[in-house]
Amino acid sequence: MHNVLVIGGAGRIGQSIVADLAQQETVAITLTSRTLAAGQLVATALGPRVHAMALDLADLEALRIAITPQDLVIHCAGPFHDRNAQVLQTCIQQQVNYLDVSDHPSFTEKALHLTDEATAAGITAIINTGVFPGMSNSMVRQDIEALDQADQIHLSYVVAGTGGAGITIMRTTFLGLIEPFLGWLQGQWQPIHPYSGREIIQFPPPYGRVNVFWFDVPERLTLPQTFPVQSVITKFGSVPEIYNGITWALAHWMPKSWLRKRSVIEFLAWGGFVTTQFTDQFSGTGVAMRSAVTGIKDGQPTEVVSTLVLPDTAIAAGYGTGSIAQLLLSQDLRKPGVWPVEAALPTPLFQTVMHQRGVHIHQQIQALVSQN
């Protein structure tokens, strides 16, 4: 029996990961929450091999005790904007493999700095797993491998309402509007204002044409490090469209000093969460992703486009993280160090675990007509 600790497993994303893991009969899962009662309520609903424990991440001794007997730790306790890498450091010290659903470049940088320590300890640590980042990164890798040379990556996402996720995702969205970030464009890092650069992207049904905007995600940092491309574009949009308008206004009109106040973020997050609980009934909670990689194939300019649509974003995140957990526990995947998904997960393995979960990714390769 494999022992897996899911930190923050009582949250919406954590529950989806536990549900995916629970499909494997050789896995025993312990999920953590701030209070034991909340964790036990979730654990009871997820099956007899799921147990709960209360855990405060600030209690380092309790964290060490919780991690030591595990075969794998999955860190889901966001938001990750101001998280340190203590969970990963403890896993390295205890020689326990590690996954997380981190979704902010600042945390990604902290984790990647520990790669030498993880390598020396012989543990595999894969960060930014889930749906985006996560499955999206593997879609990009698949597209790049279809080319002889890749020059530009363009990733676009659209989420309906809350995406089936919880309040933490709302906090993450608003926290992402505070600071400009650096984008890799034309072979150099250039400053980007969050929720700028509106672009209309054609997604598969039921979404169609959706406005997307620049958003700060770990992919904009890790993809240029993993692949020798000239540009990486990462854009995000919401449906209903009114949410794009609200987010754009907050990013461009609200004073940044206000957004830096925790009370303001909490007000916005809860207000948005309550509102989307109503609109989710009409919009659904799905996600669509589009990876477009341009480059050269057989001497010709070529674009490879992959698209994916799933009906629930949180469940999709469970697929993304749960599938990598499956590969680590079966030892089909082993890569000591700290890695983003696209640098760790080979395309054949990605395709296999997605097929097992009934996830279909549509890929199209087409030559580009010269404009000259």
CA angle 157, 363, 159 (to 5 degrees): 15
Beta pairing partners, 243: none
pLDDT of 315 above 90: yes
Same domain, 175 and 235: yes
Instruction: With cut-offs at 50, 70 and 90, classify the pLDDT of residue 272.
Output: confident
User: What string of DSSP letters covers 168-213?
Assistant: HHHHHHHHTTSS-EEEEETTEEEEE-TT-S-EEEEPSTTT-EEEEE
Domain end residue (candidates: 310, 330, 345):
310
Instruction: With cut-offs at 50, 70 and 90, classify the pLDDT of residue 50.
Output: very high
Q: CA distances (Å), 351 to each of 157, 174, 346, in order?
A: 20, 33, 9
Domain assignment present for 369:
no
Instruction: With cut-offs at 50, 70 and 90, classify the pLDDT of residue 63.
Output: very high
Same domain, 185 and 223: yes
For the chain, the domain total comes to 2
* Average confidence (pLDDT) over 75-86: 91
Same domain, 102 and 142: no
Instruction: With cut-offs at 50, 70 and 90, classify the pLDDT of residue 194.
Output: very high
Domain assignment present for 362:
no
Same domain, 262 and 139: yes
Domain end residue (candidates: 256, 285, 310):
310
Same domain, 326 and 285: no
CA angle 157, 159, 165 (to 5 degrees): 125
pLDDT value at position 278?
A: 75
Q: What is the CA radius of gyration of the chain?
A: 20
Beta pairing partners, 239: 160
| Structural domain range at position 194 | 132-310
CATH of the domain at 218: 3.30.360.10
Instruction: With cut-offs at 50, 70 and 90, classify the pLDDT of residue 114.
Output: very high
As a whole-number percent, the residues of the chain with pLDDT over 90 amount to: 78
- Neighbouring residues of 209: CB distance < 8 A, sequence distance ≥ 6: 200, 201, 202, 203
Residue pair 239/162 in contact (Cβ under 8 Å)? The answer is no
If phi over 0 gives left and psi between -120 and 50 gives alpha, with beta otherwise, what is residue 364? beta
Same domain, 18 and 96: yes
Same domain, 137 and 254: yes
pLDDT of 256 above 90: no
CATH of the domain at 75: 3.40.50.720
As a whole-number percent, the residues of the chain with pLDDT over 70 amount to: 99
Furthest CA-CA distance within the chain: 66
- Neighbouring residues of 254: CB distance < 8 A, sequence distance ≥ 6: 177
Same domain, 91 and 151: no
pTM, to two decimals:
0.94
Count the alpha carbons within 13 Å of 196 in the hemisphere toward its beta carbon: 12
Instruction: With cut-offs at 50, 70 and 90, classify the pLDDT of residue 192.
Output: very high
- Neighbouring residues of 295: CB distance < 8 A, sequence distance ≥ 6: 144, 147, 148, 149, 150, 151, 152, 301, 302, 304
Please give the order of strands across the beta sheet that includes 362-367.
199-202, 209-214, 231-239, 149-160, 287-297, 300-310, 362-367
Distance CA 84, CA 55 (A): 16
Q: Which residues of 275-295 are buried (b: 16+ CB within 10 A; e: fewer)?
A: bbeebeeebbbbbbbbbbbbb
Q: What is the pLDDT of residues 257-266, one digit of tens each?
A: 888 888 988 8
Distance CA 349, CA 354 (A): 9
Same domain, 39 and 55: yes
